[in-house]
A = this chain, B = another copy of it.
Amino acid sequence: MDRAFIFDVFGTLVDWRQGIADAAREAFGCRGLSVDPYAFADHWRACYDPAMERVRSGSRGYVPLDLLHRENLDQTLTAMGIADAFDEAARNALNRAWECLPPWPDVHQGMDRLRPFGLLAPCSNASIALSARLARFAGLRWDAVLGAEIAQDYKPRPEVYLAAARAFGLGPEQVVMVAAHNRDLAAARAAGLGTAFFARPTEYGPGQDRDLKPEEDWDLVARDLADLAGQVARRS
């Protein structure tokens, strides 16, 4: 196969906010804590980019996202005033919520339709361990797990996209990056990859004000993954 589609995962394929809020609601409920699980999910996620930035900038060597999530969880519990309610084991258990996030409803059909047209892999900031377990939970079927860990760096650094293309034995122009995030696609395009966009207008909750539409003339723009797969099929 001389073509591949590589995917952002958090937000593009799975609803991290709902999955994290569901896990938090359960963890809070059995401890009698009245904390808004969505506010908790939003705070935890807000620590994500600054934590990766320390690796991207070179001030910290590559560590897997699982560890960054775990450190960010400590920060989030403290910020919300509920650090005392979670011991080490409970924190490790809650951290695994990132392995159990629900896919958006169009994802299975879209991946199945797209599969004949190219190799499929995540190009996520998740580690291999996290990507593989999340794929099991969410029913994502990959040809390989690519992304941050094989590049030992984090998106949107160009090496992450280039390492994914290289791992499949392809040039960047033979690979399409699929994401619901304009910033991810801008970086993929700058690295020479094709780009495909669809919006996930509730990824950040009902008041989302970012990534509601394509901000550049991406190679493919679709309603969702199933629609994207249909466009690829009709052009092939």
A62 to chain B, nearest CB (A): 13
Is residue A20 contacting chain B, with contact meaning CB distance below 8 A? no
Contacts A1-B136, A132-B143, A145-B144 given; indicate if A169 touches B119 (C-beta within 8 A).
Answer: no
Mark interface residues in A136-148 (1 if CB within 8 Å of B CB, else 0): 1000011111100
Who on chain B is nearest to A150 by CB?
B150
* Proximity string of chain A (104-148) to chain B, C-beta cutoff 8 Å, 1 when within and 0 when not: 000000000000000101000001111111011000011111100
A66 in contact (CB, < 8 A) = yes
A17-59 near B? 1/0 per residue, CB < 8 Å? 0000000000000000000000000000000000000000000
Q: Is A168 an interface residue (CB 8 A)?
A: yes
Minimum CB–CB distance for A127 against chain B, Å: 7
B132:A144 contact, CB within 8 angstroms: yes
Check if A149 is an interface residue, CB within 8 A of chain B. yes
Partner of A144, one of B128, B168, B169: B128
A108 to chain B, nearest CB (A): 15
Contact B66 A128 (CB under 8 A): no
Per-residue 0/1 for A144-161: is the Cβ within 8 Å of any B Cβ (1 yes, 0 no)?
A: 111001100000000000
A167 within 8 A of B: yes
Task: Quickly give the copy total for this chain.
Answer: 2
Within the assembled complex, what's the spacing in Å between the Cα atoms of A168 and B127? 9
In the assembled complex, which residues on chain B have CB atoms less than 8 Å from the CB atom of A167?
127-129, 149
The 8 Å CB contact of A168, one of B1, B128, B142, B170, is B128
- Residue with the greatest number of chain B CB neighbours at <10 A, chosen from A64, A129, A141: A129
Q: Which of A129, A141, A144 has the most CB of B within 10 A?
A: A144
Q: Could you give 13 example pairs across A and B, Cβ below 8 Å?
A: A1-B136, A119-B132, A121-B132, A127-B169, A128-B144, A128-B167, A129-B168, A132-B143, A132-B144, A135-B143, A142-B142, A143-B145, A145-B145
